[in-house]
Every structure is written in C-alpha cells, then in structure tokens.
Structure 1
Amino acid sequence: MNDIFVADLIFYLILLIPVHLVAWWHGWPGFLAWYYVVIFCVARVIGGALGVHDSSSLAANIIVGVGISPLVLAVDGLLHEARTYRHPDRNKVVGWLFIGLTTVLMAVALVLAVTGALDIYEGHPKSDSLTHYKTGVGLMVLTWALVALWASFSLLPSQSRKDGTNYQGGTTLIQGVFLALVFVGIRVIYQLIAVCTQRKDLNSSTGSLAVRVVLVFLPEALSVLSMLFVGFQTRNIRKDSKRVGGAYPLLESTPTA
C-alpha cells in the first residue's frame, strides 16, 4: 500500500472542515481561492481513497501526478482577493482578464497532461503521449510563473492604497500568496523534472517514499496550510470593511472574532 494515499485521504478529509469555514468567512471576494482549495482537497480525498483500495489505481496515480492544477488556481484566486482589498478602487478588468488567462492555460495544461498520462500509465503510449504530458506540465509551471510575476507586480505602489480600510488585511493575504507560491513552485517544478527525465526514482507513483513525501505531499500540504493560516488571520476582513487601519499582521496574534 502506498502510504502517501493514506496520508492524502486522512489529511485532506480533516482539512475540508476548516477550508469550508474560511470560505464562508471570506465570502464572495475570496470565492475563487477557496473554491479551488475545496476542489483540490476533494480530489486528494478521492485519489487517496482510490489509492488505499488499490495502490496501482490509474485514476489515483494520475490525480497525484497532475492534480496540482487546482492549487495553482487557488493561489491565483487568493492573489485576486488580496488585490481587491489592497486597492479597491483600481480597474478590475485587468485583474479578471488575468484570471481568465490563467484559467484557460491551466485547462489546456490539464487536458494535455491527463491525456498524455493516461496513455503512459496504461502502458500503451502513443507517439505524442509523452510530448502532451510534458507540454501539459510545462504549462502548469508557466501558469505558476505568471502568478508569481503578477504577485510581484501587485507590490508596486501603484497597485495599492495604503489609506484603504482593508489594506493591512490585503497585505496579509498577499504575504500568504508568496508563501504558498514557494511550496507550489517546488511541486510543479519537481513534476516537470520527473516527467521530462522519466526517471522511476523521481516518479510520483514509483519513486521512493522520501521523494513522494518531500516533493509531493509536503509542498502541497504546506501550500494549503499557509493559505488557511492567512485566511484565518483575516477572517474578519469583510466585517471590518469600515475599520480604519485594521491590523492583520502575518505572524502576530489573530484578530478577535
């Protein structure tokens, strides 16, 4: 039995409760972020259950291999929420256009990666199966890089209003974005290296337990936990829309409910 499947099943099943709580606290402004976190957790629970039943399950191994895509979009959604609070008067069209771009890129990436991986895992690869798999994972890395660049751009003075009532809350959220991006980056770059090299010791299904824990399970888990942490820190951000100078420091005590 693959212990990673057991860990996925238990860990993300437990996380579904606090994820839904944070989603309810943040409401519509944070819908994209927490909607995708829920999808990611549900996918990991399903994959874990399938893997516990049969560690060679095709569906379970594909979910582990390419199921990082909702998490990339979740970080993108958290960035969108952060930008909303850091500069509420800015032109929102550009932000939504970026959301559309990353969503389309990830959709294409997922289709290519899944179709390529299916043929490979089934043992009947076509001439272009590996190319599709590599291209799909490569697009995931590209999407992650674009989100990182957009997050960096969002730190420019022109992209924020320090006198805004929820500026501090938005700043805490964007700090969570950068923290999550580090862990997500480790995960997607590892996946690209594993797919391009086709080394069995690096494969998310056949690699050693250490590889699967350090490069698969932990980066994903820490990404979700970092998002949950800042989500909890800013749980009153909607209620405090009229609070001037509200404080939501990343590493200090949480605001009272």
Structure 2
Amino acid sequence: MAALTTAELAIYAILIIPTLFILFKHGKPGLLGWIYLAVFCSLRIIGGAMFLSHSSAANIVSNIGLSPLLLSTAGILHEAQHYRKKTSKLKMIKILLFHIVVTGGIAILATGLSGLQSDSPTPDDQSKVKAGLGILTASWVLLVIQTLYIMFLDGFAPLDNRHLLVSLIIGLTFIGIRVVYTLVALTSNNPDLNPTTDTLAIRVVLSFLPELIAAILYIIAGILTRNLRSEDKRQRKPSEPSYTLA
C-alpha cells in the first residue's frame, strides 16, 4: 500500500499545479469549482503524507476527501450554468444549501469515523457514519440529475460550455463508483472491502482510479475552457459606435 500512497501523493502534487492555473483563468464564475478541486488535491497530498507517517487519522482524511470532489463538481456545474443563464439569487441560495448539506454530511461522517477509531466506539458512531454516507450519496444523485437536466433538457450551449458538462457527466460516473464503494465498505462487515484491510487491487480499482480519472477529466475540461470567461466578456461588451463620413 505504501507504493500506491507514494504514487498518489506525487500525482496530486503535480495535478494541483494546473488546477491553480485553471482557477486563475476561470476567475469568479468558476471560483467554487476549482477551489474545491484544489482542496481535494491538497487533502490527497496530506492524507498520503499522514499514511506514510502511520497516522491514525489518515483513514478519516481519505474518506472526507470525497466531499471536496463533490463540491468541486457542483461548482463546475454552477459555472457551466452561469454561461447559459446568468446566476439568479434563487440559484445562489440552492448552491449555498447544497454546500451546507454536503459539509454537514462530511462532518457527521468524520465524527462517526473518529468515534469508531477511538478506544470506546459506540453504536451511535456507526449510525453517524451511515447518516453521513447517506447524505453524500444523496448529494451525488442530485448532481447527476441536475447535470443531465442542464445538458439535455435545458437547450444547447456553446462548445466550451459542453466541454465542462461532458466532463461532469463522465466524472460523476467515476465518482459514483467511489461513493458506492465507500458506502458499502463502511457499512458492511466484509474485510475485503474495509478501507483498512482491503486488497491493493480493490483500492486501486474502486477508490484510487475513479477519483483520479474524475479529477483529470475536470482538469482537461478546465484547460480547454481556460478562455471561457474572457470570451464571454468580449461577447457581452457593447460594440463601439461606427462613424462614417458624410
């Protein structure tokens, strides 16, 4: 497992660089999406370092790292929506509520996991883990529904906008694999799926690769759409008056 953790740490240390570049290029409309992707990369780096130093909190950091990826997805979806229909107050309230729900879910999950790893775990700790995972799973389902609605039922969009939406749909598929794996792993008694006792193959296929593929897809889409904000400003800029000689 140490080799996988070392590779993960190195990969995300590299990926955070283009993520910060994308954050700069996309600016305010993409602020939430790309900041949370940078947070996700940072948590994977921190979690890897903690695992290599044999910290007991490494498993908690690994599992809560899923929430920034969900929040990044929501933020990128908001950016794609922004260039179709300008953000209204109602949409901002919905985005805020979604972030509160996901943050609350991960807080409940982290509290439960911390309790389970303590010297005196209680049944209430397991209930908190299940509740937190339930919230994260429901959040993923909502993101899938909203992304599909925007892409297929809300009209067509400029090509750059579709780059973001396609990356979200494919990325959400892989995030779903990670969500389901986490849900089963933390709520079942199967040692082969337990995050602390699972096999290398299971961890690579169901945890490491789905997250990595989703992150890379988002980064590729972010680079392809790096000029989206400047192009949008150019299109909305009033044209200069033209003068002709009489």
Tell me the TM-score normalized by structure 1.
0.86
Query: What are the equivalent positions in structure 2 for 1:96-245 lying under 5 Å apart?
Result: 96-157=92-153, 159-160=154-155, 162=157, 167-241=158-232, 242=234
Alpha-carbon shift at residue 148 of structure 1 (Å)? 0.9
Distance in 2, Cα, partners of 1:135 & 1:85: 35
Deviations 1:130-171 (A, max 9, x none): 0100110111011011111111221355x3465xxxx22212
Q: 1:64 maps to what in 2?
A: 62
Distance in 2, Cα, partners of 1:135 & 1:149: 21
> Does 2:78 align with 1:80?
yes
Alpha-carbon shift at residue 66 of structure 1 (Å)? 2.8
Alpha-carbon shift at residue 116 of structure 1 (Å)? 0.7
Distance in 2, Cα, partners of 1:181 & 1:98: 19
Deviations 1:197-226 (A, max 9, x none): 132210222200001111111011011000
Deviations 1:11-65 (A, max 9, x none): 11111111111111111110010010011111111111111121xx222111112
Q: Secondary structure at the match of 1:124?
A: coil
Alpha-carbon shift at residue 9 of structure 1 (Å)? 1.2
**Which structure has greater helix proportion?**
2
Aligned residues: 235
Distance in 2, Cα, partners of 1:23 & 1:101: 23
Alpha-carbon shift at residue 243 of structure 1 (Å)? 5.3
Q: Is the 8 A contact 1:15 1:41 kept in 2?
A: yes
Q: Secondary structure at the match of 2:74?
A: helix
Q: 1:252 maps to what in 2?
A: none
Distance in 2, Cα, partners of 1:202 & 1:52: 21
Q: 1:253 maps to what in 2?
A: none
Task: Calculate the aligned-residue CA RMSD, in Å.
Answer: 1.7
Q: 2:50 maps to what in 1?
A: 50
Deviations 1:57-85 (A, max 9, x none): 22211111232000001001000000111
Larger radius of gyration: 2
Q: 1:251 maps to what in 2?
A: none
Q: Is the 8 A contact 1:12 1:41 kept in 2?
A: yes
Deviations 1:214-250 (A, max 9, x none): 1111011011000001101111111212359xxxxxx
Gaps of 5+ in 1: 245-257
Q: Is the 8 A contact 1:194 1:203 kept in 2?
A: yes
Distance in 2, Cα, partners of 1:217 & 1:129: 26
**70-79 or 7-16, which deviates more:** 7-16
Q: 1:10 maps to what in 2?
A: 10
* Aligned-partner residue type, residue 101 of structure 1: L
Q: Is the 8 A contact 1:66 1:137 kept in 2?
A: no
> Does 2:21 align with 1:21?
yes
Alpha-carbon shift at residue 177 of structure 1 (Å)? 1.0
Q: Secondary structure at the match of 1:58?
A: coil
Q: Secondary structure at the match of 1:238?
A: helix
* Aligned-partner residue type, residue 67 of structure 2: S
* Aligned-partner residue type, residue 168 of structure 1: L
Q: Secondary structure at the match of 1:184?
A: helix
